[in-house]
Amino acid sequence: MTKVSSVDSTPQPPKGAKSRVRLSRRVRGFLALPVAALILSGCTVPSFGAYESNTETGRSTYHLWQGFSIAAAIIGGLTLLLILWAVVRYRRKSVDAIPKQTQYHLPLEWFYTIVPILIVFGLFAATVVVENKVTAEPKPAVTVDVQAVQWGWSFSYPGTNALITGQTTQAPMFEIPAGENVHFVLNSTDVVHGFYLRDFNFSRLAIPGIANQWTFNAINTGEFFGQCTELCGLYHSIMYFRVKVVTPSEFKAWVAKFNTPEGARAAEAAALASKQQLSSIIPTRPTTNHGVN
């Protein structure tokens, strides 16, 4: 009896096809990495996750952040392309083959040494310019003394009777004029607190025994939400405040209200509430006001 052998009639891919498929998959994987990183980071363009800010100095910081982000994207993208090009162009094609050896390409070595140095100097110079603008102390039109305490804020205006204070379950709102230099002096009575205004792109620590100072020049009017960003105790999570930016004329009228008998009594009540807060361990009111965002 004759034995019939079976023949596989399934068409076979040409030689080298499988290796090309594997290479194509690897290239797609490399290209997917930066795309996945961008999507997972939730980064927004052109803000790159930052706020434009409602102050002159904050906007300078915002533009610096944009410049750093764009520079990082360009340099990172170029570096990734060069890596992928080297992977594809100089991949091993044969087990025994030794690629051509090249040394001392002086123009290329000068280029990748000098250009990064110039980039670093450029970023450093831009940072110095912005930092000098942020830390500058122009002549102020208004001064605000800020006092942080577990777990509330008080805002006073030297030379006036104006005093705004809030206990833990309150979100005090103070006012500043738009388009004018407002100087802040920040202190803490007990522990380290964090003074943070998201829409101003601004954050400073309130440290016991140290007065942190800065100057704002607000651009747009409106109400803006602030909070403590340094874990400072049991009620840190509801240590809020608000700042209301108004026109200079509205600000003068607001301050003038504190020079009336009613305003003086309100200031006395605020000072008493602040004193009670200092001597209190727990909030004195049961309701919570989360402020206006």
Mean pLDDT of 6-16: 56
Question: What are the pLDDT digits (tens) for 147-170?
Answer: 998 888 889 898 888 888 876 566
Q: Is the pLDDT of residue 279 over 70?
A: no
Rounded to whole angstroms, the Cα distance separating 267 from 250 reads: 19
Name which of 84-88, 144-148, 210-214 the model is least confident about.
Answer: 84-88
Question: What are the pLDDT digits (tens) for 12-22?
Answer: 555 555 566 66
Domain ranges within the chain, ordered by starting residue: 27-89+104-135, 142-279
Rounded to whole angstroms, the Cα distance separating 172 from 167 reads: 8
Predicted local confidence at residue 292, as pLDDT? 32
Rounded to whole angstroms, the Cα distance separating 17 from 25 reads: 12
Percent of the chain with pLDDT over 90: 17
Report which DSSP code applies to 90: T
Predicted local confidence at residue 274, as pLDDT? 61
Q: Looking at the domain covering 142-279, what would its CATH class be?
A: mainly beta
> Which residues, in sequence order, are CB contacts of 80 under 8 Å at separation 6+?
30, 34
Rounded to whole angstroms, the Cα distance separating 232 from 192 reads: 6
Are β-strands 181-188 and 142-149 bridged in parallel, bridged antiparallel, or unpaired?
parallel
Structure tokens at 5: 């052998």
pTM of the predicted model as reported, rounded to 2 decimal places? 0.67
Q: What percent of the residues of the chain are helix, what percent strand, and what percent coil, each to the nearest 5?
A: 45, 20, 35
- In the three-class reduction of DSSP (H, G, I as helix; E, B as strand; rest coil), residue 177 is classed as strand
